[in-house]
Structure 1
Amino acid sequence: MLRYSFRSIKRNFASSLLLVGALVAIFVASPLSFSMLSSIQAEVDANIKQYARGSYDLLIRPIGTQTAVETTLGVVEENYLALGEGGISLNEWETIKALDGVEVAAPVASLGYFAGETHTVAVEFPNNSSFIEGRFQTSDGLHTYPLQAGGSYYVLEQEGYYYGYEYVQQGNEEIPGSGGPPFFSMPVTYHLIVGIDQQEEEKLTGFNFSALNNSIPEGFRFYFDLDVERHIKIIYLKDATTPLTVQVDVAPIDWETADTERLKDELGLTYDEPLFISEQFPSLFTQFQDRHIGPIETYTFDLSEHMPPFSYDPVSLDYDGSMHEPIENAYGVSESSRFYQASPIDYDIQAGGRLKVKQVGDYEGIPIYRTIQEQGGAAYELHGIGKIPFLLYPVGHFTTAEYEHSLSASPLGIYQQAPSVLSDGTMLHETIAPGSFVNAPAHGLMALEDAAFIKGDAPIDAIRIRVAGITAYDQEAVDKMSQVATEIAKLGDYQIDVIAGASPAPMTMDVEGIGEVVQPWTSLGAAATIRDGWNGTNVLIAGLFLFVSISYLANRFHFRRHTKKEEQELLLDLGWKKRHIRWLYLMENSSLIFLSAAIASLILLAYIWLYQADWFILIFFVAVVVLTFLFSLIYVSMMRGVQKISFRRLKGQTVWIRNLFYYRRLLTLSIIQLASVALLLAFVVSSIAATIAQTGGTYLGVYINDAVFIPLVSIMVAALFLAVLTVGESTSAFLLLRKEELQTLRDIGWRIKDVHRLCLKESAVWTTGAIMGGVVISLLTVSVFYSLSLSFLLFAGVAVVLLSSIAIVTAGGMIRSSLRKMA
């Protein structure tokens, strides 16, 4: 019997080869696809467990502190905890910290924009008597804004006097000098400060804040003699920069030593006495304004990298572009008791989730986008008329440089330094003024108790909770978070949010005066959205691909059953028993299945050897082979004679319509199979697009989507291959069954091209109809599980045209080949 089956395979070599190719495709594509889908879900779950927890789990805030953007869009801006009005007391924080299940309870008390230490910047002496003018500027990365600070000098030669120069000045009258090089007072810069608890913050972040324990440097001891209520230590963010440049204009003037000595004689000064002690000194500057004799040379110095917030070393500028330590300088912390409280930006939420940011005013000509209120005053203004409430003293610095861009939520809402960029990639940053639209990190930290002194009895804006006993973001972790949140809710009326599972997401804003700006915001609940999205998508894709594979096998054996009809009748006439015939076909099918399985196993082993698949893929492979054998067994057992196809005359109909109606039962499975493939292809693309749109708005979502993209494309390729095989094999088998009919058409005078046109028209109708039906069902499915959009409708039209073109070309090739054999 085995010998007869081999002879049958050899006699029907072309048909058997097609079946082997089809089975190899099924045996390879199906296990790979199901393995890939399993790997996709494992990848999604693993990445969510690894990245979705973030730095903390729960955020406790006073009721009513949520912004409109947070409640509407479910996103919060980076460093969103750096500004606020407080509302939680230190006693409440201590109670929450003591709860069972709370591993860390790190408070944040935002305070506003503060000025810190100020210095002067010196300019080296020129080679001769010159006019020197300094102008300071700040920038937001796009625009440059001039500042009021700066000044002008006439540097006058005088041999034997200190460094050989005297000078008169304008713009720095409050700190006149003589002997040293010209210098300019730095403009006051403002930076965000928040209060923290050092111990809890270090446990939560892993950053080193030990500099808060340093003593106030001896250089600041002078200020202890002032009437100051509280001396407050701060540490500053070493990684931050201050956008500040100075432009220095230098022009020589016609002036020599003799001219300087003559001027001092006129003022009644000795040659050793400085000009600024003369009563006429304020008016001297105007006397030199007509003495410019040479071209003005402009030198620009970028001070940004030399000015960390609150504390920086004085510099002296040389005309070759270098900077070094000055001979002299002045400094002070007297501005530090003046600060600005700022409100969050009042975002205008536009269609599509875009945000519009309006300018609310300006600070010394610099646009600001937050409402600010000045508090306190400079020490020199308060001294003598009242007690100075506090002074800030920078005693060290901290760094977050080791924190790199993360897939999870930003660490703690006050340290993120992710840039804001224009649509063309231009980097933006905050200016030196309070109230920038940029969500800047905290540039300074102080102890929580000091923050309470400035802000009041309830200074805390938020408490960041890390729940104990959590190692990964899974259902057990979610349950623990819920339990702790419930306990906290019993203590008072708080806004409690689950931050675990959040991830940064780019947000597009239209900023007045700037343009379209992209900032990273934090999307709350991103992990749950991603997990649920891919869970549903993978189940649907797996189910559809399983149905496509089963329908393909059913269709293939269905046609094989019909094409074997004549052979079966001949064997019966020769005296074969029906059980012997069924056994023959079972052996033939089993041989082809075994050969296909052997070839497929080699291909799968190659995948495993190349690390493109795991060993457990063989389990899927064995299951598909067994399922195929069962299909063969079922169809062989049904071969008791094939029912003749009924025919009903259709008056007035063209030939191709009558033919399609006549062979409708034969084509039904092929139509279902091709519709299933079209449904799978259209749904896979649509569901992937919908899932990516739903989950890809965050960095975590983009990371996971990138990881699963190639496996899903592989599934689409496999489905497309099955579609081509379906059309090719169905057309070939259909023509084989109609061999006598087509030969009759040739005998009565039909030309080859006429027969070709008839068959192609028939194939085009049933294949295009099946494809359109599958795509329509796909659209209905997408509308149920996702939201149907215009882009999906456009894709559906493209899919119909593309798949129909492939089907018609494939069918045309098979028809042409079959008709040549009949010629």
Structure 2
Amino acid sequence: MLGFIWGQLRGRAGRSVALLAGVLVATTGFVVLTGATTTSRLDVTGAVERNTRAAYDILVRPNGARTPLEAERGLVRPNYLSGLFGGITPAQYEQVKEVAGVDVAAPIAMLGYSTSTVPVRFDVTRAVDPSLERQVIRLNPTFTAERGLSTAPSSPRYVYVTKRPLLYPEWGGDVDVPSSPYSDGRTYKYDEYCGQVPREVLPDGRSEPICDPYLAVRSGNAGQSSERENWSVDTVRLLPDGRFEANRWLPGRAERVVTDQLVVTYRVTVPFLLAAVDPEAEQRLVGLDDAVTEGRSLRLDDTTTETSPGPSVTERSVPVLSTSRPYLDVTVRSALTRLPQARPAGLPIGELERTLGRATGLGVGTEEYTLTDGYRDLLAKGISKTGCCTGELQTIMQAGAPEYERLPDGALRAVARPPFDHALYGGESALNLHSRPWLADDNGFRPVTALPQPPSGGHLQLRFWQTVGIFDPEKLSGFSDLSRVPLETYEPPRTDGADERSRQALGGRPLEPSGNPAGYLSSPPLLLTNLAAVPKLLEGDVTPTRTAPISAIRVRVSDVAGYTDRSAERVRLIAERIADTTGLDVDLTFGSSPAPQTVELPAGSFGRPELRLTEPWSALGVASVITRAVDRKSLVLFGLVLVVCGLFLGNAVSAAVRDRRRELAVLACLGWSARRIAALVLGEVAALGLAAGLLALGLAFPLAAALDIGIGWRQAVLAVPVALLLALVAGLVPALRAAGAHPAAALRPLVAPARWVRRPRSLFGMALVNLVRTPGRTLLGAGALAIGVTALTLVSAAAYAFRGAIVGSLLGDTISLNVRSADTLAAVVTVLLGAGAVADVLYLNVRDRAAELSTLRAVGWTDATLARLVGYEGLLIGALGAVAGAGLGLAGAAWLVGGLPSALILVAAAVALVGVLITCLAALVPAALLRRLPTARLLAEE
């Protein structure tokens, strides 16, 4: 029997080599793909483990804080703390800390916006004409923000430069006195409209005041006015040596300074978000103490201090850590004009404004200064009461969360709001020392309320914050770059343009916070105080913030180093315990990553056009989705390779049996039993499988090395039994058919007529009839191609569309599905095997219908027409298999992704087209065999 089998294999060398190649490809693909699966999983899980360790694993928020949009999409919006003021009590915080397995529980209490000022400095030295005895330099400031898209002019500011002597008030800090002593030893009446201002000495010895309306505003409630409405007159003396003498106000006193340059400084109101933390927990969570660059860190005993500078005045001072990075996109530009004829001395405020406003002069340049530079100037002064940094807490502004409308394309549109009530800054119950920010007059996106000051009862209560240290948010530790945005507390929000128009409007730069409390982008908390200071600060406050000040608790779980199934389950169990114990909203941030969300921003009233932005929301559970997807992908590809190879081999063995039908019939007539005939067929197939397994064993290592895949000896040795088993399975059905066939079958027609199909009227119709005559064979070829197209669709989708579609996250973009070259090679091989199966089907059809085709040639059909007939058959099989395979691949990709993005549909369509083209090319081989048909002999046999 063995010799007979060897003779059969050698006698049909072409068919034997084809079968050997099919088994070899399938077996080698099995070994390599198994190694690729292991390597791919190790790479992916390693990358996930390295990049999903955030500062905390669980986010605890007040009950009801999770919005329906967040719950529906599994996302957490950026700056989730902005708009979240209180809601968790200290008792609930203690409950969270006591849950077993909690390593760190770090609370944060968002208190609201404090108003402070940042200096803006303009050097106007070059604008001064030293030959003039008196002159006024007019500055016309223009505020710009949001990458220059929002612009608003401000009232002019003036600098009066005179060579005449000036008298300065010797201010003692009391604003209630009717008169004030001056530098000449005399006392002058206090002007309630002009304030305590310098006086210019006239040639006759008299002196006249030079009103400064800004001082009058500061002596009242500055919050009732916008800084765009403020105007001022600074007075300096030009000394004979070319230097400048001016008066500088300091706390409780005034001081004369002489400088070489004339630098005018204005104060721009900036709202800073104040939050309270537990210093010890914050250090353990993100290393807050290690991020302090100047001064000292917060201490556990830091609290609100209270002093009484006067019998009816109480001052409460809160110690804070101030940021070293203000994250403000605001610039002030000023056009300079010299007014040589203007004479402000002695004019009351009303006439002074009209006179200076109507004055004409000569433009002498422009100056520009950013608030970031101004904040650096503050830091350069060092931490002190007269340096950096302080601000007021007379009215604490609280801005809620934005609302969204859902657009048909899945994007979100922020709901615009009119400017908030300005009385919140300057109401009767508030005594604000700073004007309201200029952008507060713009349309907003957040509801703004004020945390009211406790009733004074006739006693003036002043609330301030004072810097004790400076911290750098970018030095905080404890998170990966792929998971830090935006779940980290101190990360500044930045959004890029989502379309070309928006990107051009932003100048290719991201949109940043503008300093408007009601603006869409909210700055992170830039002022941090101790949680222990909150009760005293809010003493007498009747709002729920005082009794439940904590906005969120960030929890890090112990014994969790990186993302693994065990760690994920541990975090989930502890989150459930926290939710059951406290009744608060609990989100698992473990394994999360930023996910792009398109947000449409309506136009602003200061010139900002409508923008379409890409905002990094946080997708929850990204790591779990990725690790499951890579396992599914490898498993599916592995199964598809084996199935398509099995179909290819089954078709090839079936063709070999059909080609030997006369020979097998003769053996049956000679007395061979059905079992012996089946053993002959299976023996031939088993011999080829064994040879292919040995060859695959030798090829696996160099191929794996070329693809950078690790394969062990155990995996490689599996090639032999897998090849043998695959060959036997593929040959089982043809062997049984051969054994059960009647010897007279060799004399019957090979192709049965399709009686239920109408007579074809075209060449394409005839091709369709021919395929229907052998439905099993047609479906086998189409099925093999469909499986190959399915595999290629999955791999192409993973390479092209999964980066933004699997979870739409930064981690997904970075890791993707780790599509390796072995996966791509396996998919391409399955398509080629499917195309080979189609070519084999067409070849068998040509062989079985050789007499028919010879008859058509005899009656005048050309070889080109016959080739077109075969080509149409190949096109139909290819279209059937490609469409079915693309559909299956699309369904599989959607299963991996969890959705059906449009990108996947495009990928599936492209792969289906490639499958049809490859099938048409494969059809050229059997079409070329038509020329070799022995027409005369076939007709003679018929």
Instruction: Indicate whether the TM-score tops 0.5.
Output: yes
Assess if the C-alpha contact under 8 Å between 1:154 and 1:285 holds in 2.
Answer: no
1:393 lines up with 2:463 in the alignment: no
> 1:245 is matched with which residue?
331
1:670 lines up with 2:746 in the alignment: no
1:197 lines up with 2:278 in the alignment: yes
1:544 equivalent among 613, 623, 640:
640
Assess if the C-alpha contact under 8 Å between 1:96 and 1:105 holds in 2.
Answer: yes
Deviates more, 1:631-640 or 1:525-534: 631-640
Deviations 1:101-153 (A, max 9, x none): 21101001001111235546353533525524151524022523336576112
> 2:372 is matched with which residue?
304
1:627 equivalent among 705, 725, 742:
725
> 2:554 is matched with which residue?
464
Assess if the C-alpha contact under 8 Å between 1:771 and 1:804 holds in 2.
Answer: yes
Deviations 1:675-696 (A, max 9, x none): 4434555566679889767633
1:562 lines up with 2:658 in the alignment: yes
- Cα distance change on mapping 1:245 and 1:799 into 2, 3 Å: closer
1:433 equivalent among 494, 500, 516:
516
CA shift at 1:491, angstroms? 3.9
Assess if the C-alpha contact under 8 Å between 2:318 and 2:465 holds in 1.
Answer: yes
| 3-state SS, counterpart of residue 919 of structure 2 | helix
- Alignment gaps of 5+ in structure 1: 216-220, 264-274, 316-328
CA shift at 1:488, angstroms? 3.0
1:446 lines up with 2:529 in the alignment: yes
1:508 lines up with 2:583 in the alignment: no
- Cα distance change on mapping 1:475 and 1:744 into 2, 3 Å: same
- Cα distance change on mapping 1:488 and 1:696 into 2, 3 Å: closer
CA shift at 1:784, angstroms? 8.7
Using the alignment, how far apart are the partners of 2:162 and 2:354 within structure 1? 14
- Cα distance change on mapping 1:296 and 1:619 into 2, 3 Å: farther
Using the alignment, how far apart are the partners of 1:656 and 1:184 within structure 2? 89
Deviates more, 1:200-209 or 1:673-682: 673-682
CA shift at 1:446, angstroms? 0.9
- Cα distance change on mapping 1:649 and 1:85 into 2, 3 Å: closer
- Cα distance change on mapping 1:153 and 1:35 into 2, 3 Å: same
Using the alignment, how far apart are the partners of 1:724 and 1:752 within structure 2? 23
Assess if the C-alpha contact under 8 Å between 1:335 and 1:377 holds in 2.
Answer: no
Using the alignment, how far apart are the partners of 1:784 and 1:293 within structure 2? 73
Deviates more, 1:777-786 or 1:136-145: 777-786
- Cα distance change on mapping 1:571 and 1:516 into 2, 3 Å: same
Using the alignment, how far apart are the partners of 1:376 and 1:183 within structure 2? 35
> 1:696 is matched with which residue?
807
- Cα distance change on mapping 1:293 and 1:593 into 2, 3 Å: same
Using the alignment, how far apart are the partners of 1:634 and 1:332 within structure 2? 86
Equivalence map 1:413-428=2 (5 Å): 413-423=488-498, 424=500, 425=503, 426=506, 427-428=510-511
> 2:842 is matched with which residue?
731
Using the alignment, how far apart are the partners of 1:147 and 1:598 within structure 2? 83
Deviates more, 1:351-360 or 1:503-512: 351-360
CA shift at 1:229, angstroms? 4.2
| 3-state SS, counterpart of residue 606 of structure 1 | helix
> 1:819 is matched with which residue?
931
Deviates more, 1:516-525 or 1:418-427: 418-427
Deviations 1:4-53 (A, max 9, x none): 87776565444444444434432333433444445444444444444345
> 2:575 is matched with which residue?
485
- Cα distance change on mapping 1:92 and 1:569 into 2, 3 Å: closer
Using the alignment, how far apart are the partners of 1:396 and 1:368 within structure 2? 32
Deviates more, 1:527-536 or 1:499-508: 527-536
Deviations 1:713-753 (A, max 9, x none): 44432222112221223333443455565456556665433
Deviations 1:636-686 (A, max 9, x none): 964547553666555664576665455455555434433443455556667
| 3-state SS, counterpart of residue 393 of structure 1 | strand
Using the alignment, how far apart are the partners of 1:573 and 1:515 within structure 2? 85
Assess if the C-alpha contact under 8 Å between 2:394 and 2:464 holds in 1.
Answer: yes
- Cα distance change on mapping 1:791 and 1:198 into 2, 3 Å: closer
Equivalence map 1:759-798=2 (5 Å): 759-774=870-885
Deviates more, 1:755-764 or 1:342-351: 755-764
Using the alignment, how far apart are the partners of 2:389 and 2:664 within structure 1? 106
CA shift at 1:630, angstroms? 3.0
1:625 aligned partner, one-letter code: A
Deviations 1:604-649 (A, max 9, x none): 3333333521114525644542333434774796454755366655
Equivalence map 1:796-811=2 (5 Å): 801-811=913-923
CA shift at 1:515, angstroms? 1.8
CA shift at 1:435, angstroms? 1.9
Deviations 1:88-109 (A, max 9, x none): 2224323432332211010010
Assess if the C-alpha contact under 8 Å between 1:333 and 1:393 holds in 2.
Answer: yes
Using the alignment, how far apart are the partners of 1:57 and 1:551 within structure 2? 49
> 2:139 is matched with which residue?
133
Q: Give the TM-score taking structure 2 as reference length.
A: 0.72
CA shift at 1:436, angstroms? 1.6
Equivalence map 1:588-737=2 (5 Å): 592-593=688-689, 596-597=692-693, 600-601=696-697, 603-610=699-706, 612-616=708-712, 618=716, 621-631=719-729, 634=732, 638=736, 639-640=738-739, 644=745, 649=753, 653-654=759-760, 659-660=770-771, 663-664=774-775, 667=778, 669-681=780-792, 695-705=806-816, 707-708=818-819, 712-737=823-848
1:401 aligned partner, one-letter code: E
1:140 aligned partner, one-letter code: E
1:440 aligned partner, one-letter code: S
CA shift at 1:234, angstroms? 1.1
CA shift at 1:697, angstroms? 1.5
| 3-state SS, counterpart of residue 298 of structure 1 | strand
2:449 equivalent among 359, 368, 373:
373
| 3-state SS, counterpart of residue 325 of structure 2 | coil
| 3-state SS, counterpart of residue 391 of structure 1 | strand
Identity rate of aligned residues, in percent?
Answer: 20
Using the alignment, how far apart are the partners of 2:306 and 2:566 within structure 1? 58
1:185 equivalent among 266, 291, 301:
266
Assess if the C-alpha contact under 8 Å between 1:76 and 1:521 holds in 2.
Answer: yes
> 1:319 is matched with which residue?
none
Equivalence map 1:58-457=2 (5 Å): 58-116=58-116, 118-119=118-119, 121=121, 123-126=123-126, 127-128=128-129, 129=132, 131-133=137-139, 135=141, 137-146=143-152, 148=154, 151-157=157-163, 172-173=214-215, 176-178=234-236, 179-180=245-246, 181=262, 183-207=264-288, 208=290, 213=297, 225=309, 227-252=313-338, 254=340, 292-307=360-375, 311-313=378-380, 333=390, 335-362=392-419, 363-375=439-451, 386-402=459-475, 406-408=481-483, 410=485, 412-423=487-498, 424=500, 425=503, 426=506, 427-452=510-535, 453-454=537-538, 455-457=545-547
> 2:181 is matched with which residue?
none
Using the alignment, how far apart are the partners of 1:801 and 1:82 within structure 2? 50
Assess if the C-alpha contact under 8 Å between 1:337 and 1:392 holds in 2.
Answer: no
Using the alignment, how far apart are the partners of 1:156 and 1:799 within structure 2? 82
Assess if the C-alpha contact under 8 Å between 1:149 and 1:187 holds in 2.
Answer: no
CA shift at 1:392, angstroms? 0.5
- Cα distance change on mapping 1:400 and 1:607 into 2, 3 Å: farther
Assess if the C-alpha contact under 8 Å between 2:327 and 2:372 holds in 1.
Answer: yes
Equivalent pairs counted in the alignment come to: 781
Using the alignment, how far apart are the partners of 2:349 and 2:877 within structure 1? 101
